[in-house]
């Protein structure tokens, strides 16, 4: 059997390790955990959606665990986030104490710093606590992008399609 290889540039990636050795950086969440690689299609706006259904962190007041689903969506410009590093990034929140609103906005800032995307949205769909469900949506547009109107149209259509499937 012949093995083929894509044009993806992966030599610099560390989180996956080599030969089964994975580097875990769980001392706390930070944008440095997120590894990226070049986007092979920077002239084609497309959406990447990553859903992490096993999210946990700690309430800063009670220390009790918060659970939820984190969905990170973005239109890449020059960089794409490597999926194992995003999982490690989410794992880094397990012993982190913060309010849910702060978490979604901090994640958005970290993704924007690591990726410099045309558009990015973090959806924190947190499990009910005390009979209250909290969903936090934080969003960023690169308003300086030449094709920002095209990006906004793509995002609007994406949101409409997603809302049809969630109803």
81 is in an annotated binding site: yes
Examine the residue annotation and report whether 59 is marked as an active-site residue of this protein: yes
Give the 3-state secondary structure of residue 158: helix
Q: Is the Cβ–Cβ distance between 67 and 56 less than 8 Å?
A: yes
The yes/no answer on whether domain 31-166 falls in CATH 3.30.1130.10 is yes
Going by the DSSP 8-state scheme, the letter that residue 70 receives in this structure is: E
107 is in an annotated binding site: no
Instruction: Determine whether 82 is exposed, middle or buried from the number of CB atoms within 10 Å of its CB (0-12, 13-18, 19+).
Output: buried
Non-local (6+) Cβ contacts of 77 within 8 A are 39, 42, 115, 116, 117, 118, 142, 145
> What distance in Å separates the CA atoms of residue 119 and residue 130, rounded to the nearest whole number?
34
For the chain, the domains span 31-166
Parallel, antiparallel or unpaired: strands 79-81 and 36-38: antiparallel
The predicted structure's pLDDT at residue 165: 76
**Phi, psi of 133, rounded to the nearest 5 degrees:** -100, 135
Examine the residue annotation and report whether 66 is marked as an active-site residue of this protein: yes
The predicted structure's pLDDT at residue 163: 81
83 is in an annotated binding site: yes
For the chain, residues with pLDDT lower than 50 are none
The single residue of 8, 11, 59, 120 carrying the catalytic annotation is: 59
Cβ atoms < 10 Å from Cβ of 97: 13
The predicted structure's pLDDT at residue 162: 83
The single residue of 11, 66, 120, 142 carrying the catalytic annotation is: 66
82 is in an annotated binding site: yes
The predicted structure's pLDDT at residue 26: 61
> What distance in Å separates the CA atoms of residue 59 and residue 49, rounded to the nearest whole number?
26
């Amino acid at each position: 059997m012949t093995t083929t290889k894509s044009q993806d540039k992966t030599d610099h990636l560390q989180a996956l390790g080599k030969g089964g050795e994975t580097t875990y950086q769980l001392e706390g969440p930070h944008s440095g955990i997120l590894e990226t690689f070049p986007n092979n299609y920077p002239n084609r706006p497309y959406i990447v959606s990553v859903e992490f259904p096993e999210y946990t962190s700690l309430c800063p007041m009670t220390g009790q665990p918060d659970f939820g689903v984190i969905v990170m969506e973005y239109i890449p410009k020059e960089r794409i986030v490597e999926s194992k590093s995003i999982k490690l990034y989410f794992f880094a929140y397990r012993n982190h104490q913060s309010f849910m609103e702060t978490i979604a906005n901090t994640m958005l800032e970290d993704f924007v710093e690591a990726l410099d995307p045309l558009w990015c949205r973090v959806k924190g769909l947190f499990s009910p606590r005390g009979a209250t469900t909290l969903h936090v949506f934080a969003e960023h547009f690169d308003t300086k992008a030449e094709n920002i109107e095209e990006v906004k149209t793509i995002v609007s259509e994406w949101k409409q399609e997603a809302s049809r499937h969630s109803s």
